[in-house]
Amino acid sequence: MFTEPYSTQERKGWIEVICGSMFSGKTEELIRRLRRAEIAQRKINIFKPRMDVRYHATNIVSHNANNVASIPISHSSEILLMISDVDVVAIDEAQFFDEGLVEVVQALAAKGIRVIVAGLDMDYLGQPFGPMPLLLAAAEYVTKLHAICMVCGDNASHSFRTVADPKQLLLGETEAYQARCRKCFVLGMARATTTDPFPSL
């Protein structure tokens, strides 16, 4: 379990990245850290992609229905324009943002701000997703969470798409995705390229 390494009152900024597949609890962990920051009376700004309206237009919402208010934005550059005198900046669904997000979080950390970023590290093809690889490289602290494979019950680190849509960006939940372990993901992808394009396994 992640705990803050030192007080943000020292104004030493850093970057934390929470990553993993769909249904792994990334947003839940983000909210948990924000609750702790609130208890410590830290000033917080929270951002999410404007395009992500699956659960709520403004709040970030976990699969367990926990939620906190956030600011929807269309481009990472908006973050620097909107922050005030804050100790913590949180960003959910970071994979949907532009590559400029990396420079933004670096700038925030340089200002002495604790930055918490959550997002998918891989897309439905198992490829690095958006700015996440560079964010992982830049972060001082990385937490990779695992879901439960919906085929075999093992630890899952992949998001397998079950609907026929080739776009990388496809908002969806259990109707469009399954969490899968490496073996079940590879088997499913192999079958998708041979017989049944979107099999149950």
On whether residue 160 sits in a domain, the answer given is: no
For the chain, give the mean pLDDT.
Answer: 86
Per-residue pLDDT tens digits for 185-194: 999 999 876 5
Neighbours of 123 (CB within 10 A): 18
Distance CA 132, CA 120 (A): 7
- Hey, which residues are catalytic here? 93
Intra-chain end-to-end CA distance of the chain, in Å:
32
On whether residue 1 sits in a domain, the answer given is: no
On whether residue 76 sits in a domain, the answer given is: yes
Name the CA dihedral angle for 63, 5, 83, 106, rounded to a multiple of 10 degrees.
Answer: -100
Q: Residue 169 has which token pair?
A: 């960006």
8-state DSSP, 124: T
Return the minimum-mean-pLDDT range out of 13-17, 52-56, 140-144: 52-56
Distance CA 138, CA 111 (A): 15
On whether residue 54 sits in a domain, the answer given is: yes
* Of the candidates 46, 50, 131, 48, the residue with the CA atom closest to the CA atom of residue 89: 46
Cβ neighbours for 90, distance < 8 A, ≥ 6 positions apart: 30, 33, 34, 44, 45, 46, 47, 70, 115, 116, 117, 118
On whether residue 89 sits in a domain, the answer given is: yes
- Segments forming the whole domain that contains residue 84: 8-146
What's the pLDDT at 163? Answer: 82
Give yes or no for residue 178 having a pLDDT over 60: yes
For the stretch 75-79, contacts whose Cβ atoms lie closer than 8 Å and that sit 24 or more positions apart, written own/partner, are 75/100, 76/100, 76/101, 76/103, 76/104, 77/104, 78/47, 79/45, 79/47, 79/104, 79/108
Per the structure, the count of domains in the chain is 1
On whether residue 22 sits in a domain, the answer given is: yes
Per-residue pLDDT tens digits for 78-128: 999 999 889 999 999 999 999 999 999 999 999 999 999 999 999 999 999
Cβ neighbours for 127, distance < 8 A, ≥ 6 positions apart: none
On whether residue 163 sits in a domain, the answer given is: no
Q: Residue 142 has which token pair?
A: 């990385």
What's the pLDDT at 61? Answer: 62
The string over 74-84, giving b where at least 16 C-beta atoms fall within 10 Å of a residue's C-beta and e elsewhere, is eebeebeeebe
pTM of structure: 0.83
Here the CATH number for the domain that contains residue 91 is 3.40.50.300
On whether residue 72 sits in a domain, the answer given is: yes
